[in-house]
Structure 1
């Protein structure tokens, strides 16, 4: 407990902007009674609207918490408020204390057991029946891919200037859902929001994917696995973890929460300190709840990962971990030059033509506004920021830089660089995805 989290690490755990604002109002000594820290935990009594204060206990190492409030947010504003107070005000939450009786009881309830994989093995199914189902689905997807190519070709013949019928792409997406090809359906829905050259490029990539699936049995296995995944076939996580895994000390480079239709998607980027390979962990939760997987930026976790099959492996599933996330190095992570980042993305696209972006850490990058938008420069090369980068995130990155070269992690793609995390001179990470109050 000598190592307190930074404010940015705490903010990155908020499920939405509203709960973060409520937590910030509680990040002062006034609402708290008996706040303290020790023996791997932080605790405090928070005065709320009820007759009794809410009892809050947090164990930062494994990010386990308990709060007596009736709120449905995970974690709630009281947990986040206590952590914000702990991170910013050591005098308000003194360390080296002994937990009071109620907090000690909560800590004693935890069952100490080896950390296991979060994935539960599924009940074995009838292999013959499973093979029949897989064969039927493959045939339906192949028919859907053929229909999609015909519809895309018809659209090109009519010309992109033709507005077409209302809801055309929605109808195509529905047909792909019927064909059990959710990846093709998502691609059709995306075309509805594109125009001109962007729509033409989207049509070309979607047609390429459908054509690749029609020849999937002829492709090299890594590329075939990529095509199946892009089309919408899934791989069981337990099956992945039963195969080859990579054990390393993984540095948490960034975290971001995105609203995805009826789900909240959490994206956590890692990089192996030994292998140097990046990894992307995805977890989901229904609206109003926070995905359970939470790894603070800047921490290091020794664990096993299993990569999903792909020509350019990136997405992975977390297996067994050894210990809890530890404080990372005091210095920013090593990065590359801008030209090398573009080359890394080029290699990823050569292996997977549908790869929209690739995670990279840039060093010696200076953010600056330009005549055609913001960009990063290292004195020799320049890389534009992604046009969707919020204005507040751009200015926050500029503030972290102070006009000097800065280390920044993000995704490099054909539309530019999307910043996610920046490091100041002291090696402290700052989340750039919360610059507008949006969830990480």
Structure 2
């Protein structure tokens, strides 16, 4: 196996589990007793047969470069408990020396390698119908313009009628407006409208938050109506925020990417789970946001344990504030990091967010590694203070997308009153911590 001496930790493996039940079941299969024909290859894969309730053992294979999994068990969870158990056995050095894979494992690995090397389907691209594309773009722009006009009227009605009755009116009216934005082919506007409709149920202080979001939505409407006169970087941001896909190829960056954080959020209607994975280039220092999505009842398929480093190419999407990226070719298995990412002061974090807002006024937050900082609980709210204690950032503890109070106490316990390094999202409501490193340790701890 590639770099056999470099192993994932048990925490890295269990972070892949789709839920607590899988985590517990996988831990029970992390010993050698239920396994046979265990092996691993020099190219970065492991396999084994796991005894189940039936007479035929389950065939389990893991490609560490993905990671990717296959198993003959009937489970619909991804990865299943057998894949987790096999990885735990491997992390405990229970796989042995590199060996040749049996047919049932090599066939799947070869098929996977073939898919990665296969050119895009459809053969050579046909010459673009530029005139047809232009007409389609004009028709869509007209639909979006009509949708924007309707949305502006809806926002005007909201302000004229006041916010006091929004709790009683409920979410249905906003869902209807969002559906109208979908009809207008502006999915970005539809998403923001749905978020606006959920604010009255978010607890104390919701009128101020609703007014803020309505103002940002109005700003986006006005920007779309005047998009032709905007500088191209800002115009690309507006088009992306409205829901138009950026044209052209994005910048491709090969680096050793450190996984800083991974967490899931569920859409207001409960139909979609979004997994946000934050990466940082070891050489470039560039942040990258990788998104994956899961349908109802199933988690997203992409999973990257915090603390791993992968040598890969990331292709950044145009008009995404320089953050959104898709992972391309990977050049080996992911390995645990042996060092803590360098942190910046709270003042530098605010400056970075301010610079990002110049390119994207609708950006809610910017990824930042703070350190060294000290978490400070307080009656009026939590803070993360620089080690000298001269400046600090507030930490929100309630509302959509923020960390729970129990997670903050976990951070305080990790600190023990001393400095820690913290990765999180710095925005207009403060700093949301996601991952922390204790002084003198390279082991990341998720703050949730």
- TM-score for both structures, normalised by structure 2: 0.84
1:368 corresponds to 2:376: yes
Q: State the alpha-carbon separation in 2 of the partners of residues 210 and 27 from structure 1.
A: 54
After superposition, the Cα gap between the structure-2 partners of 1:100 and 1:394, relative to the gap in structure 1 and judged at 3 Å, is same
TM-superposed deviation, 1:226: 0.7
Say how many residue pairs are matched: 425
Q: State the alpha-carbon separation in 1 of the partners of residues 160 and 379 from structure 2.
A: 38
TM-superposed deviation, 1:177: 1.7
Query: Could you tell me which of 158, 162, 178 is aligned with 1:159?
Result: 162
TM-superposed deviation, 1:253: 1.8
After superposition, the Cα gap between the structure-2 partners of 1:120 and 1:307, relative to the gap in structure 1 and judged at 3 Å, is farther
Q: State the alpha-carbon separation in 2 of the partners of residues 431 and 31 from structure 1.
A: 31
Aligned match of 1:396? 410
CA displacement, residues 134-180 of structure 1 (integer Å, 9 cap, x when unaligned): 11110110111122112211211122224485533223222222211
Q: State the alpha-carbon separation in 2 of the partners of residues 38 and 246 from structure 1.
A: 28
CA displacement, residues 193-251 of structure 1 (integer Å, 9 cap, x when unaligned): 22311111111111011011000001111111111111111236xx425xx43333322
Greater shift in the superposed pair: 49-58 or 359-368: 49-58
- Secondary structure of 1:383's counterpart equals strand
Q: State the alpha-carbon separation in 1 of the partners of residues 303 and 98 from structure 2.
A: 26
TM-superposed deviation, 1:364: 0.8
After superposition, the Cα gap between the structure-2 partners of 1:404 and 1:44, relative to the gap in structure 1 and judged at 3 Å, is farther
Query: Could you tell me which of 425, 428, 431 is aligned with 1:411?
Result: 425
Q: State the alpha-carbon separation in 2 of the partners of residues 82 and 307 from structure 1.
A: 34
- Secondary structure of 2:164's counterpart equals coil
TM-superposed deviation, 1:51: 1.9
Greater shift in the superposed pair: 155-164 or 288-297: 288-297
After superposition, the Cα gap between the structure-2 partners of 1:281 and 1:29, relative to the gap in structure 1 and judged at 3 Å, is same
- Secondary structure of 1:269's counterpart equals strand
CA displacement, residues 379-418 of structure 1 (integer Å, 9 cap, x when unaligned): 2222232323123422332343333211121111122222
1:314 corresponds to 2:323: yes
- Secondary structure of 1:176's counterpart equals helix
Check conservation: 1:223, 1:311, Cα contact below 8 A.
Answer: no
Q: State the alpha-carbon separation in 2 of the partners of residues 198 and 303 from structure 1.
A: 39
- Secondary structure of 1:22's counterpart equals helix
Aligned match of 2:390? 380
1:280 corresponds to 2:289: yes
Q: Which residues in structure 2 correspond to 1:417-432 (within 5 Å)?
A: 417-424=431-438, 425-432=440-447
Check conservation: 1:8, 1:429, Cα contact below 8 A.
Answer: no
Check conservation: 1:28, 1:85, Cα contact below 8 A.
Answer: yes
Aligned match of 1:75? 79
Greater shift in the superposed pair: 331-340 or 308-317: 308-317
Q: State the alpha-carbon separation in 2 of the partners of residues 10 and 99 from structure 1.
A: 24
Check conservation: 2:255, 2:312, Cα contact below 8 A.
Answer: yes
Aligned match of 2:308? 299
Greater shift in the superposed pair: 331-340 or 251-260: 251-260
Query: Could you tell me which of 212, 216, 225 is aligned with 1:205?
Result: 216
Q: State the alpha-carbon separation in 2 of the partners of residues 121 and 295 from structure 1.
A: 31
After superposition, the Cα gap between the structure-2 partners of 1:111 and 1:79, relative to the gap in structure 1 and judged at 3 Å, is closer
Structure 2 regions of 5+ residues with no counterpart? 200-205
Structure 1 regions of 5+ residues with no counterpart? 434-440
Check conservation: 1:32, 1:45, Cα contact below 8 A.
Answer: yes
Check conservation: 1:54, 1:67, Cα contact below 8 A.
Answer: yes
After superposition, the Cα gap between the structure-2 partners of 1:172 and 1:105, relative to the gap in structure 1 and judged at 3 Å, is closer
TM-superposed deviation, 1:336: 0.6
- Secondary structure of 1:389's counterpart equals coil
Q: State the alpha-carbon separation in 2 of the partners of residues 102 and 71 from structure 1.
A: 22
Q: State the alpha-carbon separation in 1 of the partners of residues 361 and 379 from structure 2.
A: 31
After superposition, the Cα gap between the structure-2 partners of 1:350 and 1:267, relative to the gap in structure 1 and judged at 3 Å, is same
Q: State the alpha-carbon separation in 1 of the partners of residues 445 and 121 from structure 2.
A: 34
- Secondary structure of 1:370's counterpart equals coil
Check conservation: 2:372, 2:420, Cα contact below 8 A.
Answer: yes
1:171 corresponds to 2:195: no
After superposition, the Cα gap between the structure-2 partners of 1:4 and 1:154, relative to the gap in structure 1 and judged at 3 Å, is same
1:185 corresponds to 2:190: yes
- TM-score for both structures, normalised by structure 1: 0.86
Query: Could you tell me which of 245, 262, 266 is aligned with 1:259?
Result: 266
Aligned match of 1:338? 346
1:130 corresponds to 2:130: no
Q: State the alpha-carbon separation in 2 of the partners of residues 120 and 291 from structure 1.
A: 25
Query: Could you tell me which of 21, 27, 35 is aligned with 2:30?
Result: 27
- Secondary structure of 1:240's counterpart equals coil
Q: Which residues in structure 2 correspond to 1:219-234 (within 5 Å)?
A: 219-234=230-245
- Secondary structure of 1:281's counterpart equals strand
Q: State the alpha-carbon separation in 2 of the partners of residues 171 and 111 from structure 1.
A: 43
Aligned match of 1:141? 144
TM-superposed deviation, 1:37: 5.2
Check conservation: 1:268, 1:295, Cα contact below 8 A.
Answer: yes
Q: State the alpha-carbon separation in 2 of the partners of residues 104 and 176 from structure 1.
A: 48
Aligned match of 1:348? 356
Q: Bigger relative contact order, structure 1 or 2, given CA contacts below 8 A and separation 6+?
A: 1
RMSD: 3.0
